[in-house]
Amino acid sequence: MKASRLIPAMLVFLAAQVAAYEPPRTAGGKVDFSGVWQVLNSANHNLEAHPGRAAQVMREGPVVPVPAKELVALGAVGALPPSLGVVEGGAIPYKPGALAQREENARNWVSADPEVYCYLPGIPRATYMPHPFRIVHNDNALLFSYAYAGAVRNVALSDPGPAPIDSWMGQSWARWEGDTLVIETTGMNDRTWLDRAGNYHSDQLVVTERFVRTSDHTIDYSATLEDPQVFTRPWTIRMPLYRRVGADENMLQFNCVEYVEELMYGHLRREPLD
């Protein structure tokens, strides 16, 4: 068969396989999303498509840009890997003033990104950080437990109304559209970023996530972000989530709070370290 005919045939076959997949279900018949999941992308570096470069933050060099002073010693470990991006349509639709703030954030990543200080990541960033997370799901509960910073998200199974107070992880509640799990999160503060590239939001952010099981080991994940203070329109990111299996399904905690004590409080020593 010619290649021009083979590729469409393969796509039809793969689509049929996905359509025929019967996911595991809870006792009540809902799709069961339980398991330990993780992304395999570099969205946490930058949601938008980007080439690889020597560091997350660069400065002018004598001939070409070089890594920021604070990152030079990291060498290749501090390099930014390339990515095709996960934003549908390619670019995040910032308002002009908000775009200028994103660029300012990017220039000051080393000292400004909340991840540097082990602050809770917020939604949707918690999903695509380079750490696994566990979903515990049955007919009476839906819980997300993240390896990063011990973050936890207890998702309500009916609309609880407006969040009583803004918080780092916000207030989430779930509903179903057929076999698609839809989670809406509101009530987040404006202190979390969306990635290390300085993409950000205000406290008006509403995130609508959709989870679709496509196999025993994959979830089709998307999140639509609405924030009229920062963006000109709603926009969506999309990526697969992969289930960890075997010994890898044991999730260890990345308790980074203690790892930043020297950064945040070392200057308070009687004799600060150099």
Q: What is the pLDDT of residue 238?
A: 98
Q: Which domain holds residue 58?
A: 51-83
pTM for the model: 0.90
The strand pairing partners of 143, in sequence order, are 136, 154
Q: What is the pLDDT of residue 18?
A: 56
What CATH number is attached to the domain comprising 264?
Answer: 2.40.128.20
6 lies in a domain? no
> What does each of the 274 residues of the chain score in pLDDT, given as a tens digit?
555 666 666 555 555 555 689 999 999 999 999 999 999 999 999 999 999 999 999 999 999 999 999 999 999 999 999 999 999 999 999 999 999 999 999 999 999 999 999 999 999 999 999 999 999 999 999 999 999 999 999 999 999 999 999 999 999 999 999 999 999 999 999 999 999 999 999 999 999 999 999 999 999 999 999 999 999 999 999 999 999 999 999 999 999 999 999 999 999 988 888 8
Contact 42, 83 (CB under 8 A): yes
Residues 239, 152 share a domain = yes
Residues 240, 119 share a domain = yes
Quote the strand ranges of 178-234, DSSP E: 180-186, 206-215, 218-226
Q: What is the pLDDT of residue 273?
A: 86
Q: What is the pLDDT of residue 20?
A: 85
24 lies in a domain? no
182 lies in a domain? yes
Residues 57, 121 share a domain = no
Residues 169, 111 share a domain = yes
183 lies in a domain? yes
16 lies in a domain? no
Residues 45, 55 share a domain = no
Residues 110, 70 share a domain = no
Q: What is the pLDDT of residue 274?
A: 81
Q: How many other CB atoms are there within 10 angstroms of residue 37's CB atom? A: 24
Residues 204, 78 share a domain = no
Residues 146, 78 share a domain = no
* Domain termination site, one of 62, 83, 104: 83
Residues 264, 182 share a domain = yes
Residues 161, 55 share a domain = no
* Domain termination site, one of 83, 103, 127: 83
5 lies in a domain? no
263 lies in a domain? yes
Residues 206, 73 share a domain = no
Residues 72, 102 share a domain = no
* Domain termination site, one of 83, 102, 126: 83
The strand pairing partners of 80, in sequence order, are 53
Contact 231, 249 (CB under 8 A): no
Name the domain count of the chain: 2
Q: What is the pLDDT of residue 12?
A: 59
201 lies in a domain? yes
CA gap 221, 151 in Å, rounded: 19
